[in-house]
Amino acid sequence: MEKVNLADKLATFEDPWVPKVVGELNGQYVKVAKFEGEYVWHHHADEDELFLVVEGRIRILFRDREVALGPGEFCIVPRGVEHKPVADRKSSVLLFEPAATRNTGNVDHGYTIEAKELERI
């Protein structure tokens, strides 16, 4: 029941593509992350994933199109749908997803962090 200030949390790190847990409710995590450059194509077999832009601009690439998001805009990627987040400049993003979600989904990659190893800030 503490207040969480997203800007304060986002000011504590710079490393892109390393989500940090800032809240937990109903088996879901609230995470923040910096996006910069290109992520990896992946999907989550059992989890839907919400991306809400806090600062900057990101694009979520799908195999047949893309969705561009600015501050105050979100997109929900349904389970099973391949996607690849991209940020042309460093941007700040809030994520909502089940606590068990693996950041690179079905793919093993240098960006992979197992859910149990996520940092809480």
Site for a second copy in 92-111 (CB under 8 A): 96-98
Interface with a second copy includes 3 (CB under 8 A)?
A: yes
Binding range to a second copy, per CB under 8 A, among 5-13, 33-41, 102-110, 111-119: 5-13
Interface with a second copy includes 25 (CB under 8 A)?
A: yes
Interface with a second copy includes 45 (CB under 8 A)?
A: no
Residue with token string 């962090």: 113
Nearest to 80 by CA among 103, 37, 48, 108: 48
Distance CA 77, CA 68 (A): 13
Interface with a second copy includes 16 (CB under 8 A)?
A: no
Of 72 and 110, the one with the shorter C-beta distance to a second copy is 72
Interface with a second copy includes 72 (CB under 8 A)?
A: yes
Q: Which helix (H) or strand (E) holds 50?
A: strand 49-55
Backbone conformation region of residue 45, classed left if phi is above 0, alpha if psi is from -120 to 50, else beta: alpha
